[in-house]
């Protein structure tokens, strides 16, 4: 029987996956520090992996976000997994990967009945609050110089009050997804993700730009870019370009922003009633 907190089963996920993900090895554990850290350590130790590998945990004691930030969860309340995937490169193409992953996950979640949008570069928002975070970390295959990306995802299924207080901001959850069979949910996400990653490896981000822009949460809104708490850039968010850079309309013209470690916020003096959702 599957309950909300039950550990998923790797063979069940495999059995439910589409052909796009049939070659992905899956390991499920009850708890770990960080599934991203686990896979990166494995790649560092072994130099390579025999193929794509998904590692999923019921609970992470040291979940990671970008730039050393934390991803917080309680057992069974979130879906947390990391996928190690090998890319041909070139390295500069990888800048668009976090946004392509955002498209894959957003489209899957929408298809399952939960409306979400993407905040650049790749947070998934539900009604303006963060439902899911994505962390992409890369390393080089020591055997042949190809690129491994470890793609970590945390999706809030339930959000206990105590956890929201600990996070310290209003966050979203998707109880509708929490009612689904966990194995089927993971299989749906992994199948779409694998299809997108294969396509991305051949084409880069360009074919995904239009899809990302159709899901853009803050399209047309005044935003600020924060770098280490300091406002680095300000303008109107108009979407992403063919390599995944955020385009900001500023008085000085269009500015392209590479994701790096900057954080995007709505400009404090933006009226809240004019959310332009595409």
CA angle 21, 22, 24 (to 5 degrees): 65
Contact stretch for ligand ATP (CB under 6 A) within 38-46, 68-76, 79-87, 195-203 = 68-76
Q: Please, which residue, 52 or 121, has the CB nearer to ligand ATP?
A: 121
Q: Which of 138, 263, 270, 275 binds ligand ATP (CB under 6 A)?
A: 263
261, two tokens: 């470690």
Choice among 69, 142, 232, 265 that is catalytic:
265
Question: Smallest distance, Å, CB 70 to ligand ATP?
Answer: 6
Question: Considering the rule CB under 6 A, would residue 225 count as an interface residue with ligand ATP?
Answer: no
Q: Please, which residue, 17 or 135, has the CB nearer to ligand ATP?
A: 135
Site residues (CB under 6 A) for ligand ATP, limited to 141-200:
156, 167, 169, 171
Q: Which of 52, 53, 66, 186 binds ligand ATP (CB under 6 A)?
A: 66
Question: Considering the rule CB under 6 A, would residue 69 count as an interface residue with ligand ATP?
Answer: yes
Could you confirm whether 66 is annotated as catalytic? yes
Measured distance between the N- and C-terminal CA atoms of the chain, rounded to whole angstroms: 40
Question: Smallest distance, Å, CB 233 to ligand ATP?
Answer: 15
Q: Which of 34, 36, 37, 71 binds ligand ATP (CB under 6 A)?
A: 71
Site residues (CB under 6 A) for ligand ATP, limited to 106-125:
123
210, two tokens: 């239009």
Q: Please, which residue, 88 or 169, has the CB nearer to ligand ATP?
A: 169
- Cα separation, 127 vs 166, whole angstroms: 20
Q: Which of 216, 198, 195, 187 is nearest to 99 (CA)?
A: 216
- Number of other residues whose CB lies within 10 A of the CB of residue 130: 17
Q: Taking every pair of C-alpha atoms in the chain, what is the biggest distance, in angstroms?
A: 60
Q: How far is CA 77 from CA 159, 177, 213, 230, in A?
A: 7, 11, 30, 33
Q: Where are the beta strands (DSSP E) in the chain?
A: 25-32, 53-60, 78-87, 117-119, 123-126, 129-140, 147-156, 222-227, 230-240, 246-250, 253-257, 263-266
Sheet holding 78-87, edge to edge: 25-32, 53-60, 78-87, 147-156, 129-140, 123-126, 117-119
278, two tokens: 């595409």
Could you confirm whether 265 is annotated as catalytic? yes
Question: Smallest distance, Å, CB 123 to ligand ATP?
Answer: 5
Task: Kindly state the number of chain residues that form the binding site for ligand ATP, as judged by CB under 6 A.
Answer: 16
Q: Which of 65, 89, 207, 220 binds ligand ATP (CB under 6 A)?
A: 65
- Cα separation, 178 vs 114, whole angstroms: 11
Q: Please, which residue, 12 or 156, has the CB nearer to ligand ATP?
A: 156
Choice among 64, 66, 192, 245 that is catalytic:
66
Q: Please, which residue, 10 or 133, has the CB nearer to ligand ATP?
A: 133
Q: Which residues pair with 227 in a beta bridge?
A: 230
Dihedrals φ, ψ of 152, to 5°?
Answer: -100, 140
Could you confirm whether 130 is annotated as catalytic? yes
Q: Please, which residue, 24 or 103, has the CB nearer to ligand ATP?
A: 103
Residues marked active site are found at: 66, 130, 265
Q: Which residues bind ligand ATP (CB under 6 A)?
A: 65-66, 69-73, 123, 130, 133, 135, 156, 167, 169, 171, 263
């Amino acid at each position: 029987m599957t309950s909300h907190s039950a550990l998923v089963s790797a063979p069940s996920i495999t059995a439910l996956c589409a052909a796009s993900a049939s070659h992905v090895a899956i390991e499920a554990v009850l708890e770990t520090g960080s599934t991203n850290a686990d896979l990166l350590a494995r790649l560092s130790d072994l130099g390579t992996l025999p193929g794509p590998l998904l590692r999923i945990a019921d609970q992470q004691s040291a979940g990671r976000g970008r730039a050393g930030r934390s991803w917080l969860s309680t057992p069974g309340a979130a879906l947390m997994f990391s996928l190690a995937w090998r890319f041909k490169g070139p390295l500069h193409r990888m800048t668009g990967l976090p946004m392509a992953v955002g498209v894959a996950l957003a489209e899957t979640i929408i298809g399952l009945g939960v409306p979400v949008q993407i905040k650049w570069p790749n947070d998934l928002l539900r009604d303006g609050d963060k439902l899911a975070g994505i962390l992409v970390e890369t390393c080089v295959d020591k055997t042949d110089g190809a690129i491994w990306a470890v793609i970590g995802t945390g999706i809030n299924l339930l959000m206990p009050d105590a956890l929201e207080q600990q996070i310290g901001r209003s966050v979203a959850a998707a109880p509708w997804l929490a009612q689904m069979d966990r194995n089927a949910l993971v299989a749906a996400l992994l199948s779409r993700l694998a299809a997108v990653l294969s396509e991305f490896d051949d084409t880069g981000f360009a074919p995904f730009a239009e899809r990302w822009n159709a899901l853009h949460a803050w399209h047309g809104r005044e935003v600020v870019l924060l770098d280490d708490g300091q406002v680095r850039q300000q303008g109107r968010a108009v979407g992403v370009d063919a390599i995944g850079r955020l385009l900001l309309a500023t008085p000085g013209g269009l500015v392209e922003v590479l994701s790096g470690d900057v954080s995007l916020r709505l400009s404090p003096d933006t009226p809240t009633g004019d959310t332009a959702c595409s």
